[in-house]
A and B are shown apart, each in its own frame.
Chain A
Amino acid sequence: MSEPAAPDSAGASAEDLHESERLRSAVKTKHDTKKKRLRKRLQETLPATEGDADMQAAQARVSQRLRLSQTDVRDDGGDGAGAGANADGETVADSATAPPTEADSKSTKPPKQKSKMTAKAMRRQKLEEEQRQAEERRRLEAEEAAVSAAATVGGGGLSREDRLTRFDTATVQELRQSKADRTVKLAKLSWDALREKKELTEEEQVGFFANAVWEEDEDSAAAAAAADSGGTDRVDGDTGAAEDGDILVFETEKVYLHRAIVQEEADESQLYFYPSTDAQPPVTLDSPCDPAAEGLYVGRRPRVGEGNILRLQNILTIKADLYEEKKDWIGEDGQLRILPDPLRDVPMRPLIFEEELEDPTQQPPELQREYRSARRWDSPFANLERETPWQLEVDIGSVQFLAHPLFTLEHSAVSRLRQLYAVYAKFEKLNFPAYFRDRVAAIRRELGKLDQEVARQERSQQRNQRVLADCRARIDVFRSELETTRQSRLRAEAEHYSRLIELIEAWREVRTIRQEAGFSVTDIRCDIEETVQSKSQDEQDRRAEVAEWLEERRAAAQTRYERQMEAYAVERRDFETRREEYERVRLRMEQSGLETADFEEQPPVEPQMESLEEFGQQLDRLVRLGEDEHGQVTCLRRQPGEPLVRFRLLENSNVPTPLDQIPAPHRQAEELRRNKMESLFTYCLRIYADDKLVGPTDFVTLSSNFMLHFNRVSLVEVVQPPTKIRLDLVQCQRGRISTQTKVIGHVTLPKPDSQTTRVQVNMSELRFTYKSDDRATAAGDANPAEAAAVFEGVVRARCGWRCDSDGNILAPALKVYDPQLEMYIENPDASRDKPVRLTELKDPNDPWYVRLNYHGYLGEDADAAAKVDLAGYCRFNFFEEEFDFCGREDLEADSRFKAIVMRDRAQLTTEVTKGAPMPPYASMINRKWVEDPKREPDSVVKARVSKLEKMRLNYERKMAHVREQVLDAFNLAKNYRSYDEVIKEASAVFVNIFTLIRSLFSRKRPLKPIREVSSSPTPFTPVTQLNLSINIQNGADFPQPNDKSVLKPFVEATFQGNSLRTATARGTNPDWSASIELPFRPTSAGQKPETISDELVLTVFNDMSYTQTAEGGQQDLSSVIVREKHFLASIAIPFSAIYINEKVKGRLQLRMPEFLMGYGASASEAASADGQQSKKRRHSPALKVFISLQPHLARPTLLQQTFDTAHDSARQWVHNTKQSIAILNEQVKKTRLELQSDPNKAADEFLYNPRAFVVSMEVKEVFVSCYMVKGGMPPPPELFQRGSQGEVTDLELKKAIVARYVSLVPFVSDASAFPGLVDIWNTCEEFLDYQAGDEEEHAVLLANYLTHLTSGGADTQIYLALGNAVPEGATAYVIEMTGNEKFVWNASTGFRYKAQSDRSTLVSIDCLINSDGVYINRKPYEEARALNNPLDGKTHWLHIPKPESATFDCIQQPIDYGTDAVLASEIGNIEYDIELAVRKEIESLRARVPTLWYNGGAKDVRELLKALETYHYDPNNQAIATAKEAHNRMFGSKVIVGYPLQMSYKSTKEILNDVRNTKLHEIGMYVDSKNTVPKVQFSCVVYVHQYPKNVLSIWINLMALKK
């Protein structure tokens, strides 16, 4: 029967897919129609009951035929359908694949059908027979029953013929109704009958329910047979049927047809479902079970809510264990196991009488599986099923004519003015000039930030090139953007200006017309506001603008030039190499006698810096005159001094001149015109929704200013939202006889989105134009002028959905299928309009605004732009500021926040807050907590912020930054805890048997001294009462007084203003054996003791007490004992050094002035007499002390913080090295413990902290050898120039000079700033640049210099030594080894000691460093004096060589000594300032008595000081001798005390401290009985010597002179 379909399908397979689908569906339709017709015909011809044998034969034939034909179909046309091998039970029917699926399922027929056929048919016939018998029985019963049952019986008892005829005539409704009634009743009856029989087996039940439905029935078989016989005429009939539109027959039986689909004119093939009339499909992977074949699909289930099923499924699956017994609630099909009919206790199928059906091949409606094409819940049609139509409101405001045939001259002028004004007003609202101004400012800000960033990057040592490049690129982009924006701004301003001019012109025109005519017909008036501007201010602004622009251009050009130069340099180098190569070749060729030519290539052109002069002029012209480079005025702006003008148009504020006041010549014409206006025309608007007229408005006449006022809201009811709403303006001209109507314009209203009500929409102004060119009407018209009329106008209208009284919008929420997202989405119109909504929210962060800004300006989206106020929304970093809950300034100003931050950083301790919790309000914060302790400004700094001070400040700023980084690192480290800190557990003990046994073998001694372990140290708390215990044992090498008297020295210890002194001893090597205790009080609560910078000063004085007799010269009651102290030497020890090292023990080298007047002459004379000794440097006096804290304080915990390493590429090596050092450290610790417990070895405690890595200024760990330059660094050659005496050539002297130079760089400790002994190591360049550093910086520089000086020498090795010294504790020294001669340099004082000498302050060495690597001391407990050469072997030193890798390159930069020399005049100023400060200080200290100053001889003194400084390395130099002689001559006789203090450049405070410590002011501070003024004069001379790199040596010569 599908024979005709086959060629069609075959043809279709060649076509494209769509075509084949269409065809196939057509074929199917035909096929079904055909089947039905045939069936009807058959029923007519064949008798209703036929013999079984005939039947079977027919069936067999049909199925045979079917198989054949369907194979054909599959072979020919099946390839298009091959993909969809789904069974027809598929629930999700993709609209695209549905037709092929069906076709396919049809074509793949089970072959098993045939074999089962006979058995099934027989069983079925038996059943049917039984049913029929039961029915018969029932019918008989029913006939006998009461009359009440008659209707039922009548319905059920219709004979087959009856029914057939009845079907022919019955309407569909009737049929359905009767069928429904019948089904219910018959089902009941048949079930009862079955129940009575009782012998129905289960199999039979299943067979009954399942198979009867799907089996091929007689009718279709017969039809097939008929089809087999009747060939060609059937085909004809088919085509005819298709043309008849016979499809409509199906409509009554259609499964699911939505009316919306009809509207959409969807492909009907997708909408229809064709249940297979064939046998069940085979079990495939896609359809694992056919419910019908399984016997499960019976009847209709009672409806159970989907939610309930899901819930139950959830319960049964998720909580399976809990509901074990209920597991079989869910059937195999995943559905709840329930009976289809709750009224029955056995599943059963409704009884169907096939003969009732008008089409036996069709499924009876009860058994038809309802096909619903899969549709999404959010389908576009979901909302359309609605009875009441949607309501749209069209609000028509007014129409303003801009051109009208009845316009007078004035009207048209006003109309033009109005249009201009509309543009102007819109532009003014947008305020582009302001927007661009904002933008320029924003870009400039951003540029500034970037510039800073780049500068910061460039400054930093380890700059990231990529970041830098990125920053630069961004700067370029920003610069170009800035330029563009500036241009745009100019243009915008010019545009604004020109609009204004135009507007004013237009207004003038209106005015002129009015004046000329003598009357006015319009009611418009103009209001012009002028704001007077200062011309000079404007000029200034312009100039500033030009300057800024030019500056930016220059910066850009500069960058470009630099880049070009870089490229040029590369190119040039290439060129040079090429040329050299060429020359070489040429030379060779010439030598061999070949012809040669010159090198012809041109050198690359050196780029020139772009000249900005021309650009500047252009810019000037452009900004100030608005001229471009050709001198054309392109953008005229408001000229300086011109007032700011604001223009406003006022409507209805001017009454048109009444008729009687119009001058006579015009009156008549005007009257006529006005009459015409009022009477001739009427207008109305017709509203069209999708070209359907939904309502015209009332007729309205023109108002005097050519406006039509409608002011009407018309309601439009729609079933579907219209795609557009059109308004047509209709003009009716009232003639004498008839009314002429013509449409003079139409506008289209924007379609409202589904969420917009009328009130939410703004009136949109829509323009229309109409030009009548209808000649025909013109000819017939009375007024030809009007016929060729031009109508132009603006319609104000809006359109939106209506709100009902509940506030529901009566609009369809239409969803639209989005092919990209593959889902139905909300109306895209709504999303497109969304930003417009946002304007109401005024969210400045929405990046949409950026687009809006541009679009608005470019005119792409003028409507959207018009709705947004652009001003104030220019920003570059979205989401930055608005997401701060408060501004940065607020945070900084908030003292509570500050206090919390400080507490977090451990800067605000509980001691300060006294344990009080943080107050809840900022106002309750104690100001003292958060305010920085302000240092009093240095007086010298205050007087003149000299270059030096600036350097100092720079250094401090830098250090503050570094300190912060280090603090952060430490705060991080605090969070880290070791296992031992957290967990206490049984430690696995390994019993060392030997130690147990040793005690058996050790010698028993009667006395076994036990080394007392110091009592457990107390932790530092601010309340601890602390004393500094100073034990002064003895001194050595004090100078001998010249007068041969015995030196009577004593020591005065000063700490925090408290002084105590020892008794007076005698002799130059005195022995005090005194103990002094000084109280210690913390300066501020909560300060960490390691950061206390107070110094303990030990000063040695000569006790010169004598009895001052009264005038008479007799010793009597009036005589006074004058206690005079003559300063000899001193030393200052910072408290932190004592605290960190727990104690200071050993010989301190005191600092003594270069010479003391009245002392040491004999010694020096003796020295000079002895030629051998003259070379030797004088020993400075030494003091043997033991200083400790009482009670014993715990050493501060040394936080071993690891920082990020600078050697990124060698992390593994760094790790390994650290590991090996740590192992060594452990070993040493163990040895130390052994040593300490061994009474035989009186080993001192020592700090051992070998380091191979130190922290650089970038707070990264750097291998320490990287600080040492191979071959050293050359010291500035000026150092060795000695004017008239020529250059110093002696190596030893050179070393001394260099050491002096290094020691003169001011010493600024950074150790105390950080908890836990973190030293920041600066490079030498930084060190000299900042003019500040501590021991290691001095030592590194000195070591580098010495390496350079000795590099020519034979076997001198210079090492940087890290170790312990007295009194500094952990420090850095320089060690020089020449054969057996070993020297130790203290770089911060410039002293040199012999390593073996007991004066050497270096106590122990942790490691030695040179440029090749680090030698770590394995035996640090052996004193530094027994210094071994590191090259000697591995027994003493662990050598860590520096790896040969680029990452370990030396980090030192060459030092530029030449720059930034401080001017001589500035030196003079410094001298003067210091002198003044010193004098003031001494005066203030001697406030009780007058202070007299002796100013003479300053020149001599300065000569001497200069000589001392210049020839410091050689105390016996001729220059010093002569200067000293002169000095002696001058002051020798009257000096009481006199000494020059020499120091590096420090702050004034420190200088004054030094001066105060000499106690000079105490001389002559007695007042005797007669109140005579002490006969003492003072002299103070300051000399500052300048070295390269602004290293200054300050000399202060202090003298007390007899009057």
Chain B
Amino acid sequence: NFQAIQMAAEAGASSFMLNVCGQIESVELPHYDYIFLIYQFVHGDDWERVLGLEEGVSQLSSKSADVRGLHAFAFPVEVTFKSTNPHGWPQLVVTALGTDIWGNQVVRGYSVCHLPMQPGRVTKRVPLFAPQSSSLMSKLQGLMQSEHPLYTDPKILGQGQGRQVTRVRSLGQMTLNFSTSMKNTRALGYQLLPGENFGAAAAM
């Protein structure tokens, strides 16, 4: 194994690869009907997207008729990153958009989660939240003009800065699953052991 590492280092493994394929399975947003999702990735300086879509827009979904109010999306997310540094590990930012009574597109919720750091299969449940109006007046205005508060750039959710000025309300949950594989992490000296589902996939 050590030899393999050596060889990888000698072969000039100057970066490691992260391949994540997964799915946004479903969203539980019982209050809203007709929503669709946009996903984006936020990652650090040292990360480079090699393959896969930068942004994806899903189909429009109507909620299930039962009490769950479930939106099933089965929306595939597949992306390959290349990096030299685990700092700035990519995050998936999902924006749920819907139409309001005026027929305008409004934001229904945001959610963000890191891509898994371990090889293997992971199912995640991530809560959704949406920013709130700063005042009653602007809320009314927003209702009238269908201008609900929204983040100027959803990617801000991937950073820790500047969120203290916002107020949000939690809405529902999103279920995702990811299958992750990695390459060369050990050659660069990072040890990422399979976590939740041990033994599901092999490192390297």
Q: Interface of A with B (CB < 8 Å)?
A: 903, 910, 917-921, 924, 974-979, 981-989
**Chain B residues with CB below 8 A from A910, complex form:** 45
Contact of B46 among A918, A974, A983 (CB under 8 A): A918
Whether the pair B142, A979 counts as a contact (CB closer than 8 A) is no
B131 cross-chain contacts in A, Cβ below 8 A: 983, 985
- Comparing B26-34, B119-127, B150-158, B169-177, the segment that makes contact with chain A is B150-158
Cα–Cα, bound, A553→B48 (Å): 63
Which of the listed residues A917, A921, A979, A989 has the most CB atoms from chain B within 10 Å of its own CB? A917
Q: Known contacts being A918-B45, A920-B85, is A985 close to B15, with CB within 8 Å?
A: no
Question: Could you say which of A921, A924, A988 has the most chain B C-beta atoms within 10 Å of its C-beta?
Answer: A988
Q: What chain A residues lie within 8 Å of B82 (beta carbons)?
A: 917
Most buried by B among A918, A977, A986, A987: A986
Whether A976 pairs with B162 at a CB distance below 8 angstroms is yes
| Residues on the B chain within 8 Å of A982, using CB | 151-152, 156, 162-163, 165-166
Q: Say whether A975 contacts B162, CB under 8 Å.
A: yes
Q: Which residue of B lies closest to A989 (CB)?
A: B141
Given the contacts A917-B48, A917-B85, A920-B188, A986 and B141 also touching, CB distance less than 8 Å: yes
- Docked pose: A920 CA to B85 CA in angstroms: 7
Q: Which residue of A lies closest to B161 (CB)?
A: A975
Query: How many Å from the CB of A1349 to the closest CB on chain B?
Result: 51
B59 at the interface (CB under 8 A from A): no
Binds A, one of B61-69, B132-140, B193-201: B132-140
- Inter-chain contact B85/A977, CB cutoff 8 Å: no
Q: How far is the CB of B50 from chain A (nearest CB, A)?
A: 12
14 new A-B contacts at CB < 8 Å, known A918-B45, A986-B145: A910-B45, A917-B47, A917-B48, A917-B83, A917-B84, A917-B85, A920-B188, A975-B161, A978-B165, A982-B166, A983-B131, A984-B151, A986-B147, A988-B135
Counting chain B CB atoms within 10 Å of each CB, the highest count among A903, A920, A975 belongs to A920
Return the 6 tightest CB-CB contacts between A and B, nearest first: A977-B162, A985-B149, A986-B147, A917-B46, A988-B137, A975-B161
Q: Which residues of A contact B14 (CB under 8 A)?
A: 919-921, 924
The 12 sampled A-B contact pairs (Cβ below 8 Å) are A917-B15, A917-B83, A920-B14, A982-B165, A985-B131, A985-B134, A985-B148, A986-B133, A986-B144, A987-B138, A987-B141, A988-B141
B169 to chain A, nearest CB (A): 13
Question: A917-B47, A917-B85, A986-B142 given as contacts; is B152 within 8 A of A981 (CB)?
Answer: yes
Complex Cα distance A920/B83, Å?
Answer: 9
| B contact residues, total (Cβ < 8 Å) | 34
Binary contact track B106-136/A, C-beta < 8 Å → 1, others 0? 0000000000000000000000000101110
Given A918-B46, A920-B188: A983 touches B141 (CB 8 Å cut-off):
no
Nearest-Cβ distance from residue A141 to partner chain B, whole angstroms: 69
CA distance A921 to B85 in the complex (A): 10
The chain B residue with its CB closest to the CB of A984 is B152
Q: A918 and B85: CB pair below 8 A? A: yes
Please tell me if the beta carbons of A918 and B84 are within 8 angstroms of each other in the complex.
Answer: yes
Name the distance in Å between A901's Cβ and chain B's nearest Cβ: 13
CA distance A987 to B133 in the complex (A): 10
Interchain nearest-CB distance for B185 vs A (Å): 11
Decide: A979 and B166 in contact? CB cutoff 8 A. Answer: yes
A972 to chain B, nearest CB (A): 10
B193 CB, nearest partner CB in chain A, Å: 20
Is B188 a contact partner of A986 (Cβ separation < 8 A)?
no
* Nearest residue, chain B, Cβ from A978: B165
CA distance A1410 to B177 in the complex (A): 68
Is the pair B166, A917 in contact by a Cβ cutoff of 8 Å? no
Contact A920 B165, beta carbon cutoff 8 Å: no
Residues of chain B lying within 8 A (CB to CB) of residue A986: 133, 138, 141-142, 144-145, 147-149
Of all chain A residues, which has the CB nearest B187?
A920
Chain A residues within 8 Å of B137, by CB: 988
Contacts of B15 in A (CB 8 A): 917, 920
Of A974, A976, A983, which is in contact with the most chain B CB atoms at under 10 Å from its CB? Answer: A983
Q: Are A981 and B162 in contact (CB under 8 A)?
A: yes
A991 to B15: give the CA distance in the assembly, Å.
58
A440→B131 CA distance, assembly (Å):
63
**In the complex, what's the smallest C-beta–C-beta distance from B88 to chain A, in angstroms?**
10
Q: Are A979 and B134 in contact (CB under 8 A)?
A: yes
Task: List residues of chain A with CB within 8 A of the CB of B83.
Answer: 917
Q: Are B142 and A985 in contact, CB atoms less than 8 angstroms apart?
A: yes
Q: How far is the CA of A1518 from the CA of B183 in the complex (A)?
A: 88
Query: In the complex, which residues of chain B have a beta carbon less than 8 angstroms from the beta carbon of A924?
Result: 14
CA distance A917 to B85 in the complex (A): 9
Query: Which chain B residues numbered 65 to 112 have a C-beta less than 8 Å away from chain A?
Result: 82-85
Is there an interface contact between B149 and A983, defined as CB atoms closer than 8 Å? yes
**A977 to B45 alpha-carbon distance, docked (Å):** 20
- Which A residues are in CB contact (< 8 Å) with B166? 979, 982-983
With the chains together, A910 CA to B133 CA distance in Å? Answer: 36
Measured CA separation A982–B144 after assembly (Å): 22
* Distance of B203 from chain A, by nearest CB (Å): 17
A residues near B150, Cβ cutoff 8 Å:
983-985
Complex Cα distance, B83 from A918, in Å, reads 8
Collect the chain A residues with CB atoms within 8 Å of residue B152's CB.
981-984
Give Cα A983 to B161, complex, Å.
13
User: How many angstroms between the C-alpha atoms of A744 and B36 in the bound complex?
Assistant: 99
Q: Specify which chain B residues have a CB less than 8 angstroms from the CB of A988 in the assembled complex.
A: 135, 137-138, 141
Task: Name B162's closest neighbour in chain A (CB-CB).
Answer: A977
Interface centre among A910, A918, A924, A974 (most CB of B within 10 A): A918
B45: chain A residues within 8 A (beta carbon): 903, 910, 917-918
Q: Which of A910, A921, A978, A985 has the most CB of B within 10 A?
A: A985
How far is B85's CA from A903's CA once the two chains are assembled, in angstroms? 14
Question: Cβ of B48: which chain A residues have Cβ within 8 Å of it?
Answer: 917
Residues of B within 8 A of A979 (CB): 134, 165-166
Q: Is the CB of B142 within 8 A of A919?
A: no
Bound-complex Cα distance A982 to B168 (A): 12
Contacts of A975 in B (CB 8 A): 160-162
Q: Which residue of A lies closest to B85 (CB)?
A: A918
Please name the residue on chain B nearest to A979 by beta carbon. B165
Give Cα A982 to B163, complex, Å.
Answer: 8
| Residues of chain A contacted by B135 (CB below 8 angstroms) | 988
Residues of A within 8 Å of B145, CB to CB, are 986
CB <8 Å contact, A977 and B165? yes
CB-nearest residue of chain A to B144: A986
Q: Chain B nearest CB: distance from A740 CB in Å? A: 71
Kindly report which residue of chain A lies nearest to residue B165, judged by CB atoms: A979
Q: Smallest CB-CB separation from A980: which chain B residue? A: B152
Bound Cα distance A903, B161 (Å): 18
Q: Which residues of chain A come closer than 8 Å to B133, judged between CB atoms? A: 985-986
Q: How far is the CB of B144 from chain A (nearest CB, A)?
A: 8
Distance in Å from the Cβ of A904 to the closest Cβ of chain B?
10
Q: How far is the CB of B165 from the nearest CB of chain A, in Å? A: 4
Residues of chain B within 8 A (CB-CB) of A981 are 152, 162
Bound CA–CA A910/B83 (angstroms): 16
Q: Which residue of A lies closest to B153 (CB)?
A: A982
Interfacial chain B residues near A983, Cβ < 8 Å: 131, 134, 149-152, 165-166
Partner of B161, one of A918, A919, A977, A987: A977
A1576 to chain B, nearest CB (A): 59
Q: What's the Cα separation between A977 and B163 when bound, in Å?
A: 8
What separation, in Å, do the CA atoms of A975 and B144 have in the docked complex?
Answer: 34
Collect the chain A residues with CB atoms within 8 Å of residue B163's CB. Answer: 982
Identify the closest chain B residue to A921 (Cβ). Answer: B14
Q: Could you tell me the distance between the alpha carbons of A982 and B167 in the complex, rounded to whole angstroms?
A: 11
Q: Are A984 and B84 in contact (CB under 8 A)?
A: no
B138 touches A919 (CB 8 A): no
Q: What's the minimum C-beta distance from B143 to chain A, rounded to whole angstroms?
A: 9
Complex contacts, B134 vs chain A, CB 8 Å: 979, 983, 985
Residues on A with beta carbons closer than 8 Å to the beta carbon of B161: 974-977
- Cα A920 to Cα B137 with chains together (Å): 52
Shortest A971–chain B CB gap in Å is: 11
Q: Which residues of A contact B160 (CB under 8 A)?
A: 975
Nearest chain A residue, comparing its CB with the CB of B107: A984
Name the distance in Å between B81's Cβ and chain A's nearest Cβ. 10
